[in-house]
Amino acid sequence: MNSEHDTPGTGPDEARRSFLKQSSLLTAMALVPGPLVQAAAAELDEKVAAVFEKIPLKLEVNGVKHKVSIEPRTTLLDFLRENLHLTGTKKGCDYGQCGACTVHVDGQRVNSCLSFAVMHEGKKITTIEGLANGDKLHPMQEAFVKHDGFQCGYCTPGQIMSAVACIREGKADSEGEIREYMSGNICRCGAYSNIVAAIQEVKGGGQKV
Ligand code: FES
Ligand code: FES
């Protein structure tokens, strides 16, 4: 008597059947038109997303405390713009490459498109809307106006948030340093010289930023 025998479902026959089933499935999928596969994938994405439950989040934005429930996949940028309607923070690339979405988190500048809102539990966020003191513009906002630091203005909120951080970080002692530490903020209008002039004025004026 042969003491070696296949456990049902694990022997060579079963492995062959399983292989044939899988390869038939792959062949069938290859024959399905692309749009149909994409539609199925999109539907699957939605179902996966629906599995995520909203989770509670407490944070402070521009001095106002918020207690909300959000999907964990919500970026800080989308949370600010869509949940809180603070549309001053701009969405440029959405990939961390343009700096249009720069805000301060506990005083540090971050690209809000690159972090999830739920990562900022208990933190203090400042957006361009929170920079001015009531009706009085922040010195950096005033300097941008004075030096024509913007043209279309799309990059300007992110530029101003970075410019303030740049001075606070002690990275604005020379034109070269300013250009280097502002290099994460892209301006399609090319207002760079004016932006540098605005930052130099604020830095030179010794005003509190
Ligand atoms: S939108 Fe965030 S870096 Fe471009
Ligand atoms: S002012 Fe237009 S993108 Fe900078």
Q: Which amino acid is at 72?
A: P
Based on C-alpha coordinates, what's the Rg of the chain?
26
Rounded to the nearest angstrom, the distance between the alpha carbon of 162 and the centre of ligand 1 is: 13
The residues near 167 (Cβ < 8 Å, ≥ 6 apart) are: 140, 199, 202, 203, 209
Q: Is the dihedral of CA 185, 190, 194, 197 positive or negative?
A: positive
Q: How far apart are the first and last CA of the chain?
A: 89
Q: Which of 97, 102, 148, 156 has most ligand 2 atoms within 8 Å of CB, for mutation? A: 156
Closest by CA position to 200, among listed 170, 185, 178: 178
Phi and psi at 93, nearest 5°, equal: -95, -30
Task: Give the number of other Cβ atoms within 10 Å of residue 15's Cβ.
Answer: 12
Rounded to the nearest angstrom, the distance between the alpha carbon of 188 and the centre of ligand 2 is: 5
The per-residue pLDDT string of the chain (209 residues; one tens digit each, 9 = 90 and over) reads 444 444 444 556 666 666 555 655 556 556 666 776 677 777 777 766 665 689 999 999 999 999 999 999 999 999 999 999 999 999 999 999 999 999 999 999 999 999 999 999 999 999 999 999 999 999 999 999 999 999 999 999 999 999 999 999 999 999 999 999 999 999 999 999 999 999 999 999 988 89
**pTM score of the predicted model:** 0.77
Q: For residues 162 and 156, give the distance between their C-alpha atoms in angstroms, rounded to a whole number.
A: 10
Rounded to the nearest angstrom, the distance between the alpha carbon of 200 and the centre of ligand 2 is: 19
For ligand 1, what atom is nearest to the CA of residue 113?
A: 2
